[in-house]
Structure 1
Amino acid sequence: MNNRHGALLESPFKRKKIETEEYLRNVMIYIHQNPIELKMDFKTCKFSSYTAIVSKADTNIMRSEIIELFDDLDNFIFCHDKLNNFEF
């Protein structure tokens, strides 16, 4: 968009194909819980989509599709409440 490139924006990132819904759910939980490593509460983190998903406020996030992956909102919250040790 701004014609920016370089090591900061390109080098450290890798792609991994998400082929199953289980893996997609785990990646979402991992991303949402990531601020824990910074000693932050992911549920109140300003830059997390978690709050937009659990709220009823207007958002561009595909809230219903994400919640559907977890069956319902209660299960979405439950799955995020337990700390996981992911190894991707």
Structure 2
Amino acid sequence: MSNGEFDGYGGRYVPGALEEPLAELAAAYDEVATTETFQTAFRELLESSHAVARAIQFAEAGDHDTILVNLSGRGDKDVQTAAEKSDR
């Protein structure tokens, strides 16, 4: 996280009332950001957001009649089940 100084290209301007809450938030983030639990959840959220973004692209292009988005984080495990349920 930034140290709050305008050195180089870093830094920030924060209203005084937000300085302490933002410092607490930054400290909490720094404490958990490298844990396996956080990293696993972060990767799953990234996978889900990419899946939704791609589905939106397909929908806007009108290339597909049906779009299936799996947000479990491991869509490869569920492809067979989805195919069976959709009669394809």
Shorter-normalised TM-score: what interval? under 0.3
| Between structures 1 and 2, the one with greater helix share | 2
Normalised by the size of structure 2, how large is the TM-score?
Answer: 0.25
Normalised by the size of structure 1, how large is the TM-score?
Answer: 0.25
Larger Cα-atom Rg: 2
Structure number with the bigger relative contact order (C-alpha 8 A, sep ≥ 6) is 1
